[in-house]
A and B are shown apart, each in its own frame.
Chain A
Amino acid sequence: MSKSFLSIENLTQRYPDGQGGELTVFENASFTVEEGEFVCILGHSGCGKSTIMNILAGLAEPTSGAVIMDGQEVSGPSLDRGVVFQNYSLLPWLSTLANVTFGVAARHPKWSRAEVREHSLKYLEMVGLKGDVVHRKPSQLSGGMRQRVSIARAFANHPKLLLLDEPFGALDALTRGTIQDELLKIWRGSNQTVFMITHDIDEAILLADRILLMTNGPYARVAESVEITIPRPRNRTAIVEHPNYYAIRNHLVQFLGIRSRELAGQPADGGMQRPARVHIDLTAEGEAEEAEPEPSGARTPPALRAVNI
C-alpha cells in the first residue's frame, strides 16, 4: 500500500478521559488516498474526523500510527499540506488580497512583490473576487466571500494535499451551492489531491471521487470507502437524474442512520482497520452492489451487509 500517494497507517488517538482512564477516539484507522483524488470523509460529530484532519495537517500528533505522504512521513505542519478551516481563519487586520499574498509569499519567498500580487489576484478572480472587493477587510465580507478567500489562499499555494475542514459548514444552503460549484471548477483544472470533511451527504456526492464513512466513536473507524460512480463533470441539478445517485445516497443515509451506530465501540484488537470498498453502479451489467473487503490481513467489518436496492 506504500505506493499510494497518501497512506494513513494504524492511526490511533487516545485522550485521558479525566477520570484516570483513557478515551479511544479511533484505533488503527488505515486508509489511502491517490494523487489527484477528491476524497470526502463523512461521519457523525465526535467520531474524530477533525482529529484526523489535524493530524494530516501536522497540527496534532496521533497517539500512535503514521501518515505517509509521497513516501515521507508527515511530522509537523508544512506548506505541502494546505488547510481551509471551517471558520475561514483569515487574518482580520489584513485586506482580502493581503490574506492571499501572505500565503503566496510564504510559499514562494523568492518571488517579487508584483509576481506574488499577480498570482494572488489570479486565484481570487477564480473564486469570483475581483475589483474593489480584494481591498476590503474580511470583516466587511459575507461568510461566503470569506470562505472564497480562504479557498483562494489554499489553492494559490498548490499544496500537494489540500485539507478542507467542513469548509461550507457555516454557510447558508444557497451560498454553499455556489461555492461548491466554484470549488469544483477550480479543482477540475488543478489535479489537486483533496481531503475534505463534511456533514452533508449531497455535498459529498457532488464533490467526491470517493467517500470514506466513519462509525461513531469511541473506537470509531473508517468502515467503508464508497466510490462515487457518477461521471464528471458533475452538475448539481444533473447528477440527481443519474441512476446511481439515489442508490449511493441511500447507502450513505443507511450507514449514517443505522450502521454507524451498530459498528461503533468495537476495539480493533490490534488489527489494521481498513475500510471495505463499496462500489455501487446500476449502469453496469451484473451485480448491483459489490462490497469487497480489502485483502491481506484486513479485518472483515463485522456487520457489513448488502443493501437491497
Chain B
Amino acid sequence: MDKLSLNQRAALLSIVMLVVGLLVWELSIPAQKAVGELTEYERLTGGGAPKAGVPPPSQVLAKAWEQLSNPFYDAGPNDKGIGIQIGYSIYRVLTGYLMAALVAIPLGFLIGMSPVAYRALNPFIQVLRPISPLAWMPLALFIIQDSEASAIFVIFICSIWPMLINTAFGVAGVRKDWVNVARTHELGPLKTAFTVILPAAAPTIVTGMRISIGIAWLVIVAAEMLVGGTGIGYYVWNEWNNLDLTSVIFSILMIGVVGMLLDAAFGQLQRAVAYAE
C-alpha cells in the first residue's frame, strides 16, 4: 500500500465504498416476481403496482445504459431522451444566468465603487434576496404569460444575488494601493476598471458566479416540475407520475453529474483568475 500515492489510495477507497454500497442496496431489495408468476389481476393493474418498491442498482444501471446509449431520441412530448431533457434545462439555466450576470456584474461594480449607490440599493437587495425564487413563479407566469420565459426569469432572479453581492464586495475591497497605482499612471476610469479593479476583484466575482450557477441548477429542477413540458425537472416528475422509479433514480443521478460538471467548469475559471499576493 505504501507504493500508492495519496490520490490512488483515495480512489481505491472510493471504489470500495461504491461497490459495497451498491451491493448492500442490491441485496436489501426483495426479488420481484417474474411476469409469468403474476395473477391475472396483478397483470391488469400494472404488475403488482401496490407493492412496487425501490429498484435495485442493477436495474438503474441497465436503465442508464439504455438511456445514455440513445440520449437524443424524440418520440413525442412525453417521451424524449435524457440528453434532450438535460439540454433544455441547461439552455434555461444558461439563458437566465447570463442575463443575471449582465445585470449583476455592472450593477455590483457600481455599488462597490460608490458608497451612495451601496446605501441606496442595500435595502432593496436585503428584502429581495431572501425570497425563494419559486415564489416569483405565479407573478412571472401572470406577467410574462409564457411558462418557458417564466422558468428563465426564475433562474435570473435566483442567480442575480450572489453575483451582485460578491461583485460589490470584491470591488469595494480592492486594495487602495492598486487604485493609487492606476491613479499615478493617469489611467481613466474605464481603463482603471478593466485593468486594475476587474482583475483585482475577479476571484471574488467568480466565487459569486460559482455560487450562482449552483443555485440556478438547484432551482431549475423545481421550476421545471412546476412549468412542465421539457427539462430534467419535468422528466423526474413525469417519471414519478409513471411510477417509473428506475428512471427517477437515474435522472437524480444525472442532475448530480451535470451540477458537478457546471461547478467544475467554474472551479477552472476560478483557478484561472486567482492570484497570490
Stretch at the interface among B5-13, B131-139, B176-184, B206-214: B176-184
Q: Hey, what's the 0/1 contact readout for B185-204 against A, CB within 8 Å counting as 1?
A: 11100000001100110100
Q: Cβ of B185: which chain A residues have Cβ within 8 Å of it?
A: 79, 102-103, 106-107
Check: B40 CB closer than 8 A to any chain A CB.
no
B37 within 8 A of A: no
Assess the B195–A102 pair: CB atoms within 8 A. Answer: yes
CB distance from A195 to the nearest CB of B (A): 14
Interface residues in A75-128 (C-beta closer than 8 Å to B): 76-79, 81-83, 85, 87, 89, 91-94, 102-103, 106-107
A177: shortest Cβ distance to chain B, in Å?
26
B186 and A91 form a contact (CB under 8 A): no
Interface size on A, residues (CB 8 A): 23
A137: B residues at CB distance < 8 A: 275-276
B184 with A93: CB separation less than 8 A: no
Q: How large is the interface on B (under 10, 10 to 19, 20 to 34, 35 or more residues)?
A: 10 to 19
Which residue of chain B has the shortest Cβ distance to A91 in the bound complex?
A: B178
Task: Please list the residues of chain A having a beta carbon within 8 angstroms of any beta carbon in chain B.
Answer: 57-59, 76-79, 81-83, 85, 87, 89, 91-94, 102-103, 106-107, 137, 139
Q: Is the CB of B184 within 8 A of A139?
A: no
Do B183 and A85 touch (CB < 8 A)? no
Contacts of B177 in A (CB 8 A): 85, 87, 89
Question: Known contacts A79-B186, A102-B185; is A91 also within 8 Å of B180 by CB?
Answer: no
* Residues B276 and A139 in contact, CB atoms below 8 Å apart: yes
8 Å CB contacts to A: which residues of B78-97?
A: none
Listed in ascending order, the chain B residues whose CB lies under 8 Å from chain A are: 177-178, 180-181, 183-187, 195-196, 199-200, 202, 273, 275-277
9 extra A-B contacts, CB within 8 A, seeds A79-B184, A79-B186, A91-B200: A77-B184, A78-B184, A85-B177, A85-B180, A91-B196, A91-B199, A102-B185, A106-B185, A106-B187
Minimal Cβ-Cβ distance residue in A for B198: A93
Q: Which of B180, B186, B275 contacts A93 (CB 8 A)?
A: B275
| A77-B183 contact in complex given A85-B177, A92-B277, C-beta closer than 8 Å | yes
* Contacting residues, chain A, for B277 (C-beta < 8 A): 92, 139
B186–A78 touching, CB < 8 Å:
yes
Taking chain B's interface residues, is the majority helix, strand, or loop, or is none over half, making it mixed?
Answer: helix
Q: Report the 9 A-B pairs with minimum CB-CB distance, sorted nearest first.
A: A139-B276, A93-B275, A106-B185, A89-B177, A77-B183, A92-B275, A77-B184, A93-B199, A83-B184
Can you report 28 A-B residue pairs in the complex whose CB atoms are below 8 A from each other? A57-B184, A58-B183, A59-B184, A76-B183, A77-B180, A77-B184, A78-B186, A79-B184, A79-B186, A82-B184, A85-B177, A85-B181, A87-B177, A89-B177, A89-B178, A91-B181, A91-B196, A92-B275, A92-B276, A92-B277, A93-B202, A93-B273, A103-B185, A106-B185, A137-B275, A137-B276, A139-B275, A139-B277
Docked complex Cα distance between A83 and B176 (Å): 14
Specify the chain A residue showing the minimal Cβ separation from B177.
A89
Bound complex: CA of A92 vs CA of B277, how far in Å? 6
In angstroms, how far is the closest chain A Cβ from the Cβ of B21? 43
**Nearest Cβ on chain B to A191's Cβ, whole angstroms:** 21
Q: A82 to B185, alpha carbons, bound, how many Å? A: 8
Instruction: Please name all residues of chain A whose beta carbon is closer than 8 Å to the beta carbon of B195 when the two chains form the complex.
Output: 102
Q: How far is the CA of A57 from the CA of B121 in the complex (A)?
A: 34
CB distance from A97 to the nearest CB of B (A): 15
Q: Considering only CB atoms, which chain A residue lies closest to B183 in the complex?
A: A77
